[in-house]
A = this chain, B = another copy of it.
């Protein structure tokens, strides 16, 4: 692109480093910001620097937090013997939105992915093993994506935990509620028939 200003070009280049943001989108966003008040732009810019500088991770579960221990880990009414293992904070938000889960979490911070150079040591797995070794945890639920990376990570964690006195489960896979069978993919459909449950048990 043919920029009339270095400042403009610089801002567009920085924006287009974000995932899913190309040069054209970046330009649209930057021109939008140029039309906003200085205060608005400062707010965005400050929010980003403060986020990066001041953000902390819960020393128990590894979730993003403003304090040393996050709200979930420090809540009295949460069941500390049940730990749900998730990839990142977005999964916690999704599970919390269901209002059905009363245990605590453990955030891995990613999934094992040799293609992206992410090995087990890059993830928050050692800390999970330590947590389980304290003996306070009765069950861990592996709530990871049903992808190659997710399955690899599940298998690795399973191997790490299988000799410890803890129950290991994974979330149920199957046809979604409201999902139509004719549109389901073959693997999910085949597995959901193979792992069928007696009627009346689920609810």
Contact = CB atoms under 8 A, between A and B. Distances in A.
B45 A92 contact: no
Given A19-B28, A29-B18, A64-B5, A44 B48 contact: yes
A34 B7 contact: no
Task: Count this chain's copies in the assembly.
Answer: 2
Interface residues on A, range: 35 or more
Given A25-B20, A45-B45, A70-B4, A51 B11 contact: yes
Given A7-B66, A30-B51, A54-B7, A93 B1 contact: yes
Contacts of A8: 51, 55, 64, 89
Contacts of A21: 29
Contacts of A97: 1-2
Interface in A62-91: 63-66, 70-72, 88-90
Given A7-B54, A8-B64, A89 B2 contact: no
A33 interface: yes
A148 to B, nearest CB: 21
A40 B92 CA distance: 26
B32 A53 contact: no
Contacts of A89: 4, 8, 31
Contact of A18 (B4, B17, B32, B88): B32
Nearest to A1: B93
